[in-house]
Structure 1
Amino acid sequence: MDVVTIGETMVLFVPNNVGPLRFASQFEKTVGGAESNVMIALSRLGHETGWISRLGEDEFGLYIRQFIRGEGIDISRVTYDTAYPTAVFFKERQAAQDPKIYFYRKGSAASQMTPEMLDEAYIAQAKILHLTGILPALSPSCRETAYRAIEIARKHGLKVVFDPNIRLKLWSKEEAKEVLMDLASRCDIVMPGIEEGEILTGETEPERIAAALLRNGAQAVVLKLGEQGAFYATPEQQEYVAGYPVKQIVDTVGAGDGFAAGFLSGLLRGWSYTEAVRLGNRIGAFALTVPGDVEGYPFWSQVDPNAKAQILR
């Protein structure tokens, strides 16, 4: 197993028309969830991935199970709940703007995850544990689950990669900062967006955000900068890596997860941080070109059918 992750995936409804949801009458159904988004993108890039979660034993849960398993992801450690439902969310499309997102996830099956549900041997076989800041925001037991997963990963020598993925609809800015900075201090690589970095550190410049997170305990920081690309820093080096131009942006949701997958793919291939970040930028750019969270993620043959030299130009 290359990468294992833990988190909630929901059924996503996207209206066919642009404008307020109250005027929408027809929707496309798909799935969305930061952690499974990353695993889907990694699977398409040729890596073995596993997703740990809890779904409602309902039609939406069955749909998610089929969808994610169909992407080649191992779901053998997903459990099912008869008392709590699978969550859903809606995307409101807006012309020339980022979409608005409406979540219906309170009391979901995934929020009932506990540390006891984690299979230590299953996590131990992976090379990387990928976590986001969404899991600890879902419930107190999910927060305990995140800490326990990191504990298992560190015990068995996995690299722990943490994307804060701050969702202020789930908790306050103050609570998010306290918990996520503590979690980040236990992880090897921290990869926030620029606004998330500002929330966590109080700094506004990429170099200062990265320095604060390195002092907090991370071995490396990768800061997502949107169309400007990304900035990474370790105690030994730092660099801005330019993004890939996209002629027409259709949907920004899922781009950050695509970046994370590309970056992790580069690390798994033994590439340098510069090379891995550049690949992250490219995969993130693919995600911008179509509606939906995962529909734009490419297969490896679409990225570079020959060798990494093409990617690094």
Structure 2
Amino acid sequence: MRDCLHIACLGECMVELSGQPLQRRYGGDTLNTALYMARLLAGSRARVHYISALGDDRLSDELIHQWQCEGIEAARVTRLPGTLPGLYLVDVDPQGERSFLYWRDTSAARQYFAMETDFSAWLDRGRTDALYLSGISLALLPTNRRLALLDALEGFVAEGGRLWFDNNFRPALWSAQDARAAHERVLAMAEIALLTLDDEHQLYGQHTAEEAARRTVALGCSEVVIKQGARPCLIVTAQREIEVPAQAPGKVVDSCAAGDAFAAAYLASRIQGLSAHEAAANGHCLAATVIGHPGAIIPAHAMPDISLPR
């Protein structure tokens, strides 16, 4: 057995502006998950890597430094001279629901993902045991590069690589038709899928969590988690279905990154041998904590007490 379990998360992290007055933070769906996983798995045999691109500017330097301080391995973050990170502005309503404005079309990550990148370097089984990506990760790639990545993922999984996927559908990035086609190819290979039911409704129309989960299992995914916000999540495999109640939060300050945090705690728990029920309970716990704070990333001292086997 390898000494360390190497987990790679693929996507884009951007500079975040939020609050009144505006404050500068950072976030991005797969980066949020990578960071919370790194915190939860600190001291274990797992290492969390981030695959992305940044510029050669001061903001990019700061992002790399902060990620490394959180325990994220950043050697696979490409630096593109003359480029900048993407930027987004968060607007939060009185109920804590958020909306976004983005400036990302010319970001370092978007330019990098459009290049003729050698995906074998991302998916080298010698240094990657598991890959986590999202619907946003896929949407950031131009169609030809996305298809090339999907082909490469088939080889990665065939060689024993573990694939984890969160649907995170954003209609501003691509069409539902294109997203369905790409998601279904990934889900046919995925070991674990974390699907938000509201996003599945945008892709397939109104249907139940049970129908969404069974459709995904039928594609070939081994373990499907349907996230339903404040309602219980549903976990379905070929053998069983279970529901795990959500944890009631205190005051909702900002719902940003709730799903990303759930994914981090769920995956970290499963990596460390906990049951699906225990993993979902931990996911709900972290998500409930995160939405009580502004921004995607809460302070380390605010992390809930989630004890994982080491």
Relative to the length of structure 2, the TM-score reads: 0.88
| Post-superposition offset of 1:72 | 0.8
- CA offsets 1:39-72 (integer angstroms, 9 cap, x no match): 1101111242000111122222222111211111
| Post-superposition offset of 1:137 | 0.8
22, 25, 29: which one aligns with 2:24: 29
Distance 1:299 1:99, change over 3 A: closer
Contact 2:51 2:122 in 1 (8 A): no
- Report the counterpart of residue 132 of structure 2 in structure 1: 130
- Report the counterpart of residue 4 of structure 1 in structure 2: 8
1:271 and 2:274 are equivalent in the alignment: yes
- CA offsets 1:95-123 (integer angstroms, 9 cap, x no match): 22412211111122111224416525755
1:189 and 2:192 are equivalent in the alignment: yes
Contact 1:130 1:160 in 2 (8 A): yes
SS of residue matched to 2:101 = strand
| Post-superposition offset of 1:184 | 1.8
Over aligned residues, Cα RMSD in angstroms?
2.2
The AA in structure 2 aligned to 1:289 is: G
SS of residue matched to 2:72 = coil
The AA in structure 2 aligned to 1:239 is: I
- Report the counterpart of residue 212 of structure 2 in structure 1: 209
Distance 1:87 1:215, change over 3 A: same
- Report the counterpart of residue 285 of structure 1 in structure 2: 288
SS of residue matched to 1:191 = strand
| Post-superposition offset of 1:296 | 5.5
In the TM superposition, structure 1's runs of 4+ consecutive aligned residues that sit over 6 Å from their partners are 297-300
- Shifted more, 148-157 versus 99-108: the winner is 148-157
Distance 2:239 2:260 in 1: 26
Q: Any unmatched runs of 5+ in structure 2?
A: none
SS of residue matched to 1:96 = coil
The AA in structure 1 aligned to 2:35 is: I
Contact 1:4 1:123 in 2 (8 A): no
Contact 1:6 1:51 in 2 (8 A): yes
Matched residues, percent identical? 24
| Post-superposition offset of 1:124 | 4.0
- Report the counterpart of residue 173 of structure 1 in structure 2: 176
Contact 2:119 2:152 in 1 (8 A): no
Aligned residue pairs total 297
| Post-superposition offset of 1:149 | 5.4
The AA in structure 1 aligned to 2:97 is: D
Contact 1:115 1:145 in 2 (8 A): no
1:43 and 2:42 are equivalent in the alignment: no
Relative to the length of structure 1, the TM-score reads: 0.87
Distance 1:133 1:37 in 2: 14
Contact 1:129 1:161 in 2 (8 A): yes
Give the 5 Å matches for 1:89-128. 89-111=88-110, 112-113=112-113, 114-116=116-118, 118-119=120-121, 123-128=125-130
Distance 1:120 1:95, change over 3 A: closer
| Post-superposition offset of 1:265 | 1.1
| Post-superposition offset of 1:217 | 1.8
Distance 1:44 1:54, change over 3 A: same
SS of residue matched to 1:226 = coil
Distance 1:296 1:144, change over 3 A: farther
Distance 1:208 1:285 in 2: 26
